[in-house]
Amino acid sequence: MLYFLATTSLTLVQIGAALTTAGLLALPAGPLVGGLVDRYGAKPVLQAANLAQALGFAGYLVVGQTWQIAICAWLNSAGRAVFFSCYGVTVTALAAPGQRERWFGLLGSVRNLGYALGGLLSAVAVTVGTHGAYAAIVVVNALSYVAAFVLMRAVPNVRPETAQDAAGGWGRVLRDRRYLSLVAHQLCFAVSLFALNIAIPVYAVDVLGLPGWTAGAVFTLNTLMVGFGQGIVVGWLSGRIRSRVLVAGHACFAAGYLLFLAADRVAAPALAVGVVLLGAGSYTFGEILGGPITSTVAAESAPDALRGRYLALNQLAVTVAGAVAPAALSGLLFNGAASIWLTLVGVSVLGATLATTIGKVVPAAQSRIGGVQPADLHA
- Read off the DSSP letter of residue 129: -
CA 111 to chain centre: 10
> Bigger pLDDT: 108 or 261?
261
The predicted-structure confidence for 117-146, as pLDDT tens digits, reads as follows: 887 787 788 778 788 888 898 999 999 999
Backbone angles phi, psi at 95, to 5 degrees: -80, 140
Task: Please report which helix (H) or strand (E) contains residue 318, including its range.
Answer: helix 307-334
Q: Across the strands, what pairs with 368?
A: 241
Alpha helices in 203-306 (DSSP H): 213-236, 242-263, 269-300
What confidence tier does 164 reach under pLDDT thresholds 50, 70, 90?
low
The domain segmentation of the chain, as residue ranges, is: 1-154, 175-370
Please calculate the CA angle 273-105-361 and round it to the nearest 5 degrees. Answer: 105
Fold matches, 1-154 and 175-370: yes
Distance CA 364, CA 222 (A): 28
The answer on pLDDT for 376 being more than 50 is: no
Residue 161: predicted pLDDT: 61
Average pLDDT over residues 353-365: 90
Distance CA 57, CA 24 (A): 18
Q: Is residue 367 helix, strand or coil?
A: coil
- Read off the DSSP letter of residue 241: B
Sequence-distant (≥ 6) Cβ neighbours of residue 220 within 8 angstroms: 116
CA 221 to chain centre: 17
Q: How many CB atoms lie within 10 A of CB 232?
A: 12
pTM for this structure?
Answer: 0.80
CB 145 within 8 Å of CB 80? no
Question: What type of residue sits at position 333?
Answer: L
Domain 1-154 matching CATH 1.20.1250.20: the answer reads: yes
CB 284 within 8 Å of CB 221? yes
Q: How many CB atoms lie within 10 A of CB 347?
A: 20
Q: How many CB atoms lie within 10 A of CB 377?
A: 8
% of the chain with per-residue pLDDT over 90? 30
Of the options 3.40.1190.20, 2.30.40.10, 1.20.1250.20, 2.60.40.10, the CATH number for the domain spanning 175-370 = 1.20.1250.20
Distance CA 42, CA 308 (A): 8
What confidence tier does 350 reach under pLDDT thresholds 50, 70, 90?
very high
Distances, alpha carbon 332 to alpha carbons 208, 259, 365, in Å: 15, 17, 32
Residue 167: predicted pLDDT: 59
Residue 119: predicted pLDDT: 75
Residue 254: predicted pLDDT: 96
The predicted-structure confidence for 265-277, as pLDDT tens digits, reads as follows: 888 888 999 999 9
Please calculate the CA angle 250-289-287 and round it to the nearest 5 degrees. Answer: 70
